[in-house]
Amino acid sequence: MNPARLALEGTGTLVRFALRRDRIRLPVWIAVAAALVAEQSAGSQAIYDTPAALAAYRATVGASAAAIAFAGPPVGLTSVAGAVAFEISGSVMIVAALMAMFTTGRHSRADEEAGRTELVRSTEAGRHAPLAAAVAVSALGCVATAVAIGAVGTLTGLPAPGSFLLGAGVGACGLVFTGVTAVAAQLSGSTRAAYGLTGAVLGVAFLLRAVGDIEGSGLVWASPIGWAQAVHPFSDDRWWPLLLCVAALGILLVVSVRLLDHRDLGAGLLSGRPGAPAAGRLLATPLGLAVRLQRAALLGWAVSLVVLGAVYGSMGDTVESLFQDNPAAQAFLPGASGAGLVEAYLATIFSIDALLAAAFAVSSVLRARAEESAGRVEPVLAAATSRSAWLRSHVTVALLGSALLVVASGGATAAVRAASSGNAGSFGRLFAASLAYVPAVWALAGVAVAAVGVVPRAAAAVAWGTVGYVVVVSVFAPGLNWPRWVGDLSPFSWTPLVPVESWTTAAAAGLAAAVMALLAIGFGAFGRRDLTTG
């Protein structure tokens, strides 16, 4: 047999095994992606049921830089189906990219880090088999997502060809990030770092297409999400941009295999320097340890959010010109001014930044649970550290870190907006407005703390489920026909949309009380329960 075939020996067995391990996870990812499309399809068809409603929608969306920044290119809006694709494609593509990242990473670097790959490779499995299996499982997930989206689109009454093209775009985006993760898993020596690298690529890809779509420039072609959205389902129905995604996957796979061939098992290409022989002053307390464990992640988030904040702040002028160049929008929004739209745009930006900060806060609180689960908390608690001091250390990093992220991204947006509008005095007001979201961010961290205390094994599912719910309610619910109470459960709904609405002490006090109660529940339960590993 030729060497390439030998290197792939055993891939089929590993694929079947990986599919068994992911028999819950993968269907959940696919169901989430399909459900988002189904819900959007049903919701949009109910809301834009008349040509007039659709025309109004077209006008306001065409003038909304915020909508374009988060959704995609404003094309195909002459039909309801096109509106569905515009609203949902960006979000579902991020879901697909994350599914691809976690699936590929879990079966490649994570297995290698845990030592399972060593065991597998000691059998007849070839050198490339574990990576090939990880890629194959992720790719199967992407294809299944594409088919599921096509099916639910068709079943909810959208044209079949466009539905399957939308699905294919989403799947193709997932394929590119399968390749990106495969390369990242070779470069970095840990799963966490591989996800960080892939997440950074995803962030940059999203930002490039956002700027490109708002400016209507060619910058979208620098982003794989831009390629996937360039299929323009339900309007131009182009298939050829998918070839770019497939070609990118091919190139990334060749690179990843080359990298794999040039490294030792267990090693990364970016790690391996010796470290400090003795601990610095920081590593002396539980808080110092928590800071040390989380500082790399916090730094990555901070840089990303500052860049995001600055880029979105710089788009303020475009918001005004989009509105002024759009007579239809002016007709539908009488009394609206360019300046008012900028404020509305900034309010949306601040809430999205806050959602990202909340994601950091939750992952940071869950770090405590990960430490417990891996057994690393035992030596710390077997030393003279109380349980509450240990949990407090991670919660402190989560609360102060997420507040820092809100401050940094809000500050960047406000500073860039103040500079580009020539109104230096607006900085203080905008910056203060961005801080209004801190209590809501902390409320999500509080949910995670309570979950770690009360239901440790389900903590990650509960906490991320809550974040997912808040994201759906904040981003999609305004365009859907959901009962009011569904949205009212979200702490982000309690927060006024500053700077458009004004900040209220009552809302902040209510959220602060909720945060205190959740922390008390979490700390109380953690102090009374057994430690659980695994």
Partner 1 sequence: MSAAIAVSGLVKTFGATRALDGLDLEVTDGEVHGFLGPNGSGKSTTIRVLLGLLRPDSGSVRLLGGDPWHDAVALHRRLAYVPGDVTLWPQITGGEAIDLLGRLRGGLDPARRTELLERFDLDPTKKARSYSKGNRQKVALVAALASDVELLILDEPTSGLDPLMEAVFQEYIREIRDAGRTVLLSSHILAEAEALCDRVSIIRHGRTVQTGSLDELRHLTRTAISVETARPVTGLDGLPGVHDVAARDGRLRFDVDSDRLDDVLRHLTTFGVRALRSAPPTLEELFLRHYGDELAEDGVPVPAMTLSRPGRP
Interface residues toward partner 1, by CB under 8 A: 113, 189-190, 271-272, 274-280, 283-286, 288-289, 292-293, 296, 374-376, 378-387, 528-531
Burial 343-379 (b: 16+ CB within 10 A, else e): bbbbbbbbbbbbbbbbbbbbbbbbbbbbbbbeeebee
Min CB(266)–partner 1 separation in Å: 8
With respect to partner 1, which residue has the nearer C-beta, 5 or 273? 273
What is the end-to-end Cα distance of the chain in Å, rounded? 42
Min CB(189)–partner 1 separation in Å: 7
Q: What is the distance between the alpha carbons of residues 415 and 203, in angstroms, rounded to a whole number?
A: 21
With respect to partner 1, which residue has the nearer C-beta, 254 or 284? 284
With respect to partner 1, which residue has the nearer C-beta, 280 or 335? 280
Eight-state DSSP code of residue 502: P
Both structure tokens of 317: 């002028």
Q: Please answer whether residues 421 and 388 qualify as being in contact, where contact means their C-beta atoms are separated by less than 8 angstroms.
A: no
Q: Coil, strand, or helix at residue 396? A: helix
With respect to partner 1, which residue has the nearer C-beta, 31 or 381? 381
Both structure tokens of 146: 């594409």
Eight-state DSSP code of residue 510: H
Min CB(389)–partner 1 separation in Å: 8
With respect to partner 1, which residue has the nearer C-beta, 4 or 299? 299
Chain centroid to CA 151: how far? 25
- For 236-272, give the secondary structure using H, E and C: CCCCCHHHHHHHHHHHHHHHHHHHHHCCCCCCCCCCC
CA distances from 189 to 100, 197, 228, 270, 397 (A): 19, 11, 30, 7, 25
With respect to partner 1, which residue has the nearer C-beta, 146 or 297? 297
Q: What is the distance between the alpha carbons of residues 155 and 142, in angstroms, rounded to a whole number?
A: 20
Q: Please answer whether residues 365 and 448 qualify as being in contact, where contact means their C-beta atoms are separated by less than 8 angstroms.
A: yes
Within the chain, how many helices (H) and strands (E) appear? Answer: 25, 0
With respect to partner 1, which residue has the nearer C-beta, 53 or 299? 299
Fill in the amino acid letter for 243: L
Fill in the amino acid letter for 295: R
Residue 5 CB contacts under 8 Å (≥ 6 apart), including other chains: none
With respect to partner 1, which residue has the nearer C-beta, 25 or 192? 192
Min CB(32)–partner 1 separation in Å: 30
With respect to partner 1, which residue has the nearer C-beta, 276 or 506? 276
Min CB(265)–partner 1 separation in Å: 12
Min CB(385)–partner 1 separation in Å: 5
